[in-house]
Amino acid sequence: MPNNQTHIANCSLQIDNCILSIAGFDPSSGAGITSDIKTFEAHGFYGLSVCTGVTVQNDMDFKTCEWISPEVILSQIETLFERFEINVVKIGIVQSWATLSLILDKLHDLNRDIKIILDPIIKATAGFEFHTEENQDLLDKIWKQCDIITPNYDEIQLLYPEKDIEETLEYISNYTNIYLKGGHRKDKKGWDELYHSGIVMVNMPPNAEKVSEKHGSGCVLSSSLACNIALGQHIEDACKAGKYYTEQFLNSNDSLLGTHNYRS
């Protein structure tokens, strides 16, 4: 009879529906990797996670972030790929564009066909700056390695300060797809827009007349979108389904921390 160590070594966990979150750890679990994993599970996926930084915050107050070194981040990624087949990745906060570029290079080295959903969090809602000014040329390379990015109106304006929003959208859409979140819009609050194929724009008005504000709603949207892409949905359908799921999350209760509607 094999001993316990041999038995454990011979047991292979068969998981063919996993999604990886590469993001920060939020102690309140409203945002970051724990929020992503809850969203993954609500869509029927097993969530894997790589931590990029440990934040000191709750649902209302962001204080600081202790960043994980690029070497440790890459080691976490490599170790997971040794065990699991990972075809879809959602990326949240990363310390710098340079670190993000290293992560993207590693992911594409490990899986040439990997699909990457990037939520380019440039500053927290509380105002903490996640990215300092860096070489803008590096962004072109980053966009090319992502399948879709999900900035909000505040973030899109910070990516290329010398351009207006329309110019920035036109420029980035030459390299990748853009889901522009409309929660920060002043003209049409809650109206999202999808830019894909370099030329096509799809307007996505709110489904709900009123929603309750939630901490981490952007993380939920990008994670739901990642799940829908993993399910093989066309990009327009994936975005619309992600928006609908996020609205359900926003209206799950009246607090700043939402709950998820787990699907059977």
**In a domain? residue 57:** yes
Q: Tokens in use for 218? A: 């952007």
| pLDDT score recorded for residue 129 | 62
Q: Is 3 left (phi over 0), alpha (psi -120 to 50) or beta?
A: beta
Do 107 and 81 form a contact (C-beta atoms < 8 A)? no
| pLDDT score recorded for residue 11 | 43
**In a domain? residue 129:** yes
Flag whether pLDDT at 41 surpasses 90: yes
| pLDDT score recorded for residue 196 | 86
**In a domain? residue 11:** no
Structural domain including 57 reads 16-250
| pLDDT score recorded for residue 124 | 59
**In a domain? residue 1:** no
Cα 3 to Cα 8, 12, 27, 114, 135, distances in angstroms: 9, 16, 39, 38, 55
| pLDDT per residue as tens digits for the range 83-140 | 999 999 999 999 999 999 999 999 999 999 999 999 988 765 555 566 666 677 899 9
CATH number of 114's domain: 3.40.1190.20
**In a domain? residue 255:** no
Torsion of CA 259, 214, 128, 69, to 10 degrees: 20
| pLDDT score recorded for residue 136 | 76
Distance, CA of 218 to CA of 216 (rounded, Å)? 5
Q: What is the mean pLDDT of residues 20-34?
A: 94
**In a domain? residue 264:** no
Domain count, the chain: 1
Query: In terms of Cα–Cα distance, which of 88, 89, 152 is closest to 120?
Result: 152
**In a domain? residue 8:** no
Do 33 and 49 form a contact (C-beta atoms < 8 A)? yes
| pLDDT score recorded for residue 109 | 98
**In a domain? residue 43:** yes
| pLDDT score recorded for residue 45 | 96
Do 220 and 249 form a contact (C-beta atoms < 8 A)? yes
- The distance from CA 142 to its chain's CA centroid, rounded to whole angstroms, is 14
The terminus-to-terminus CA distance of the chain in angstroms comes to 38
Q: Provide the sign of the torsion angle of the four alpha carbons 58, 248, 239, 187, taken in this order.
A: negative
| pLDDT score recorded for residue 261 | 80
Q: Tokens in use for 85? A: 């087949």
What is the chain's percent helix, strand, coil content, to nearest 5? 40, 20, 40
| pLDDT score recorded for residue 186 | 59
Distance, CA of 135 to CA of 66 (rounded, Å)? 23
| pLDDT per residue as tens digits for the range 170-207 | 999 999 999 998 755 555 566 789 998 766 677 776 66
